[in-house]
Amino acid sequence: MKRKKTSSKYQTDHYARKAKKENFPARSVYKLKEIQQKFKLIKKGDKVLDLGCAPGSWAKYAAELAGAEGRVIGIDLKKVSERFSANTRVIIGDVIELAQKDKENLAETIGTGYNVVLSDMAPATTGRKDVDAARSYYLCMAALTIAQETLKENGCFVCKIFQGEDFEEFKDAVCKTFDKHKIFKPQSCRKESKEIYIIGICKTQEEN
């Protein structure tokens, strides 16, 4: 058991040191890097929405991938201190409240026509796995609602969820919105973590 703890701690320190060396504010960037390497979701010139973007690692990496002709919009409750390139804008806002807006008001607030919507959001944890998973599901459904309203046809969605009894329900909701879905756990996730990523690929055309 001691070896496992030491290994997990080493893994955490390794990615944290690497993030600092590469000028990213958090180790979470390597999760998105693994997702991008495997699925090639973000392309040059893409418009990307990053929900719950603090402290800024995902938005910063997405901006690199999208390039100068692309655009990244980040949303978070907190002010993000990270410095971004000119193609990135961060808005202080509540994702839950945004998900409750109608399509027209949502478009006025954060725009529309995104190629990719990202969500690495996680709830404040309580230590109770069932409660934490339920809160994660609530955030994920809000993220999916926003993705449904703002993604272009054939757009993609990446969402972190804590595995729990609502996992299958959320997966089914993603399946109804996208032609394909993938379940993926990056190696850079902490081994003991219950987090996993659901990736929706090719948003289906809306029915009239």
Name the nearest CA neighbour of 184 among 172, 199, 170, 171.
Answer: 199
The answer to whether 160 is a known catalytic residue is yes
C-alpha torsion sign, points 38, 135, 168, 140: negative
DSSP, residue by residue, 90-158: EEE--HHHHHTS-HHHHHHHH-S-EEEEEE---PPP-S-HHHHHHHHHHHHHHHHHHHHHHEEEEEEEE
Of 31, 47, 160, 203, the active-site residue reads 160
Q: Which residues are catalytic?
A: 160
